[in-house]
Every structure is written in structure tokens, then in C-alpha cells.
Amino acid sequence: MSLAEIAVGLLILVSAFLSMAAGIGIVRFPDVLTRLHAATKPQVLGLATILAAVVLRAPTWGVLTTAVLVMTFQLLTQPMTAHMLGRSAYRTSHVRRDLLIEDELGRDIAEHAEPEASDR
């Protein structure tokens, strides 16, 4: 049992705990926007810790560059997904208005509403 092995085990446990927390979160939270908050944990931090564990376990340049590439693509694509889902949830009224503290998007939409702006 070396020091690197303990580090790898701890990183795997962190990622597994974040995955479990995301699962419990999307079961227990009340609407789409709060579930988005829970869902992003394993997508970013969980994958980052697990890639660090893989790189620690097989420390070569090929593995390191591939891991960096995986994390880059994940960080590029997951915010797009979350943004589109949140926007679609707002536009199709899947939002619990009683849970919102401040509705800045609704204020902006009301401000910019014009008679001819009916295409969206």
C-alpha cells in the first residue's frame, strides 16, 4: 500500500460520492432548475478527480494529454447542455415560481417585449 495507491483510492471515493450525491439530488429536488444544480457535480468535479486518478495510476504523456482533452471537451459541452435545458425549462414553464428568489430573466423578457417580437 503505497502513497500513490492511497491517493488514487481517495480520488475514486470522491468521484463515487459525487455520483451518489447527484443521483440522490435529482430524485429529491423539486424542479428542473434545482435538479440541474445537482446534476453538474459528477459531470465536472467527479470526472476531474477520476481522470486525476487514472493519470496517477498510469503516468505517461499519452494518458495525460488524453485526460486533458477529455476534460476540455467536457468543460466545453456540459455548460451548453445545462444552458439549453435551463432555457427550455424556463420557456416551457417547468419552473417552480414560488421557489425563485429573484427572476432576472423574466424581468429582462418583459423589458424587451415588443409587439413584433413574436417569433420566439
Smallest gap from Cβ 54 to other proteins, in A, equals: 5
Residue 103 sits at the vertex; the CA angle it makes with 114 and 34, to the nearest 5 degrees, is 130
Region near other proteins per CB under 8 A, out of 91-99, 100-108, 109-117: 91-99
> In a 3-state reduction of DSSP, which class is residue 13?
helix
Distance CA 20, CA 120 (A): 38
Alpha-carbon gap, residue 86 to 78, rounded angstroms: 12
Query: Taking the C-alpha atoms of 13, 15, 17 and 20 in order, what is their torsion angle to the nearest 10 degrees?
Result: -140
For the CB of residue 28, give the shortest distance to other proteins in the complex, in Å: 9
Residue 78 near other proteins by CB under 8 A: yes
Q: Which residues bind other proteins (CB under 8 A)?
A: 1, 5-6, 8-9, 11-13, 15-24, 26-27, 32, 35-36, 39, 42-43, 46-47, 50-51, 53-54, 56-58, 62-63, 66-67, 69-71, 73-74, 77-78, 80-81, 84-85, 87-89, 91-92, 94
